[in-house]
Structure 1
Amino acid sequence: MINALKSVRLMSSSSVKQAVSELSVPVPWGEIRGRVWGPEHGSPVLCLHGWADNSGTFNTLLPLLPKDCRYVAMDLAGHGCSSHRPAGVLYSFPSYVMDVRRVVEALRWTKFSIIGHSMGDALYPEMVESLVLLDSFGFLPTQTKDIPRLVRQGLDEMIEYEKTMADKKTRVYTYEKAVERLLAGNKSLTAESAKILLERGLVPAEGGVMFSRDFRINLKNVVRIGLEQSLELLSRIQASVLVVLAEDGFERMFSETEEREFTSALLQAYRDRNHAVATVPGNHHVHLNNPENVAPLVSDFLQTKVFIPLQSGGDMRRQTQVKGCKNNHINLCFQLKYRLRSFYCY
């Protein structure tokens, strides 16, 4: 079902010194593109980038993770090298989930792990073996009273977009100005990280370059859920979960009391289910800017997601110190028992 796994080549980014293959999966309106790292029969890991980014967001992190995994990093529809959705179609979280289903169907994956940044999420818990959330809570609840207003705003924005874009020319930049534009809109990116994202975020144009992403992704999301629905979905997660928060990351955006209540409730729900929640120094793009802060946590988590039986008469326990984390280290204590594994983060 895969249209093409294009020939292996050396990535142009200086941040990654390993060969990857280019992925192309046909969809009804075009193709979903992405990149593939690791051995063909390695443990499957799907990597989902955040809003307005692309698969390049994992360029610096994946080379630091276990080599025996098969990492597939998608460009979600309307991002990177993937096709834009058809005219008149809104972007929404359920649509992105459908894109994921199409890709894993093409890959013939029935069980896999997910590494998600910002938007990464899953609605098919039986398919997900382990879940890593990079500066993400997995859900973005909306106050119930605000949903009608925000949905209406999103619909109105779409109508206005269709009126104005018909006669509006796409802006052309020099490469240097494109870098400046991306940095101005994404304060958490370094200049080097911006250039990595622009490897898949620009297309040639007469007189310069244009951004490849579909600007409809900037319109207000019209598919929203409240905290109650978010907690219900969270309770259905069957996978082991690692939440890696950045000290100056996503949580800083939620300054209102009600928003803080949402994030606190979600984090407590993860902890109540013995999932791991850790904090590392850095901002929302710490996994791209400073992957060395994130990689030890993610690597240990991926390497220990399978059951390991106890040796007779012994208590198998492994403790790892990760430098660079809050208070200079985080102790990750893995208590492994026969047919039962719990992951505790202190």
Structure 2
Amino acid sequence: MKEITLTVAEYNLAGCSNIDINTLTLTSKPLLVLLHGWQDNAATFASLWPLLTQHYNVIAFDWPGHGKSDHKNGDNYYHFVDYIDDLHQVITQLKHEKVYLIGHSLGAIVAGCYAAVFPEYVDKIVLIEGLSPLTENPDMIVERLRVGIVSRQRYRQRQQRLKQRSMASFTEALHLRASANQLPLSLLDAVVKRATVERDGRWYWRHDPRLRCDSLYRMAQQHAQALLSSINAPVLSIIGDSGYASVYKSDVSEWGIQDFTQVMVSGGHHCHLQSSSDVYRHIRTFIPTEFD
């Protein structure tokens, strides 16, 4: 996988691909666009890259404020719906008829919403440990706005300290991330390498501290339902046997998704790291090529 840069309206997104995106034309290989989760980066799929690139064209990029991508300018923040806009800007500049979206966590939620809103660009979607946008009772709107705005003010008051927070070594950063995710160090090495930068003997996180500010708005259940029930593309949901309970659906009819399959693999919320071979096997079955 080679480093690439995708230019959207306000910033550059860093990414990785096994193809030259500037000369990409229609080929017999399906094009997979990999979408990572909140405070992860494109390298969360690194263990899948050598498997997927045998049969597919692959693009994985860092969301704005994540990994090696630019941070948003000025006093801008990271609204969930803006990720859908970012994805649309990426997809519309690719010279490909339709793409296959593979998302983890936040990336899975974005993939589902995008497939509902722009079905003409999407063939199939794979959702790893993610399904519905976060929802809450409409009665929470006042409290949600208050908490979100207060969190922004708190960030502004301590932004310099947050940006200057550093670690003595890469190993310290790796241990911190492994502790937070409760995963072995070896599974997170690539992610942490892409998430950190060394300056003058100290290690810093690349991600924008504003990512941790609370949301100003969350959808009501009816809004999420309307989005998911509008997905026409076939959906494969991959969940970990010890992952988030909220993504397990014994009865998917409540969401109204027309073509939905859910499979379980060993692992937790990052089951694509813990069970890469099984995740790959399910993707290969779900997205065949003309050579199969």
TM-score by length of 2: 0.86
C-alpha distance in 1 between matches for 2:184 and 2:232: 36
C-alpha contact (below 8 Å) 1:44/1:113 kept by paired residues:
yes
The alpha-carbon deviation at position 24 of structure 1 amounts to 0.3
C-alpha contact (below 8 Å) 1:44/1:71 kept by paired residues:
yes
Percentage of matched positions with identical amino acids: 26
C-alpha distance in 1 between matches for 2:13 and 2:264: 32
Greater helix content? 2
Superposed counterparts of 1:146-157, under 5 Å: 146-157=140-151
The alpha-carbon deviation at position 210 of structure 1 amounts to 0.5
Do the aligned partners of residues 109 and 180 (structure 1) sit closer, same or farther apart at CA in structure 2, a change above 3 Å counting? Answer: same
The Cα offsets for residues 16-69 of structure 1, whole Å up to 9 and x where unpaired, read as xxxx12110223443101111368533211110011100001111232237332
Any gaps of 5 or more consecutive residues in structure 2?
none
Whether 1:183 aligns to 2:168 is no
Aligned residues: 277
Counterpart for residue 137 of structure 2: 143
Whether 1:58 aligns to 2:33 is no
- Of 88-97 and 264-273, deviating more is 264-273
Give the secondary structure class of the aligned counterpart of 1:248: coil
Give the secondary structure class of the aligned counterpart of 1:79: coil
C-alpha distance in 2 between matches for 1:263 and 1:295: 20
C-alpha contact (below 8 Å) 1:267/1:277 kept by paired residues:
no
- Of 25-34 and 282-291, deviating more is 25-34
CA RMSD across the alignment: 2.4
Counterpart for residue 21 of structure 1: 2
Q: Which has the higher contact order (CA 8 A, sep 6+)?
A: 2
The alpha-carbon deviation at position 283 of structure 1 amounts to 0.8
1:282 to 267, 272, 275: 267
The Cα offsets for residues 71-111 of structure 1, whole Å up to 9 and x where unpaired, read as 11110000010001112111011111111112122323442
Give the secondary structure class of the aligned counterpart of 2:287: helix
Give the secondary structure class of the aligned counterpart of 2:60: strand
Give the secondary structure class of the aligned counterpart of 1:107: coil
Counterpart for residue 220 of structure 2: 226
C-alpha distance in 2 between matches for 1:204 and 1:186: 22
AA aligned to 2:120 is E
Whether 1:97 aligns to 2:91 is no
Any gaps of 5 or more consecutive residues in structure 1?
1-19, 255-261, 307-346
Do the aligned partners of residues 84 and 138 (structure 1) sit closer, same or farther apart at CA in structure 2, a change above 3 Å counting? Answer: same
C-alpha distance in 1 between matches for 2:137 and 2:40: 26
The alpha-carbon deviation at position 131 of structure 1 amounts to 0.5
Superposed counterparts of 1:126-137, under 5 Å: 126-137=120-131
Do the aligned partners of residues 183 and 162 (structure 1) sit closer, same or farther apart at CA in structure 2, a change above 3 Å counting? Answer: same
Counterpart for residue 112 of structure 1: 99
Greater strand content? 1
Give the secondary structure class of the aligned counterpart of 2:4: strand
The alpha-carbon deviation at position 207 of structure 1 amounts to 2.3
Give the secondary structure class of the aligned counterpart of 2:194: helix
C-alpha distance in 2 between matches for 1:152 and 1:171: 27
- Of 63-72 and 274-283, deviating more is 63-72
Whether 1:247 aligns to 2:241 is yes
Give the secondary structure class of the aligned counterpart of 1:88: coil
AA aligned to 1:97 is I
Do the aligned partners of residues 138 and 125 (structure 1) sit closer, same or farther apart at CA in structure 2, a change above 3 Å counting? Answer: farther
C-alpha distance in 2 between matches for 1:243 and 1:94: 21
Counterpart for residue 253 of structure 2: 268
Do the aligned partners of residues 230 and 169 (structure 1) sit closer, same or farther apart at CA in structure 2, a change above 3 Å counting? Answer: closer
C-alpha distance in 2 between matches for 1:27 and 1:66: 25
The Cα offsets for residues 277-334 of structure 1, whole Å up to 9 and x where unpaired, read as 1112211111112201211111100117x9xxxxxxxxxxxxxxxxxxxxxxxxxxxx
The Cα offsets for residues 102-129 of structure 1, whole Å up to 9 and x where unpaired, read as 2122323442110000012223222111
C-alpha distance in 2 between matches for 1:116 and 1:235: 18
C-alpha contact (below 8 Å) 1:93/1:223 kept by paired residues:
no
Superposed counterparts of 1:275-314, under 5 Å: 275-303=260-288
- Segments of 4+ moved more than 6 angstroms: none
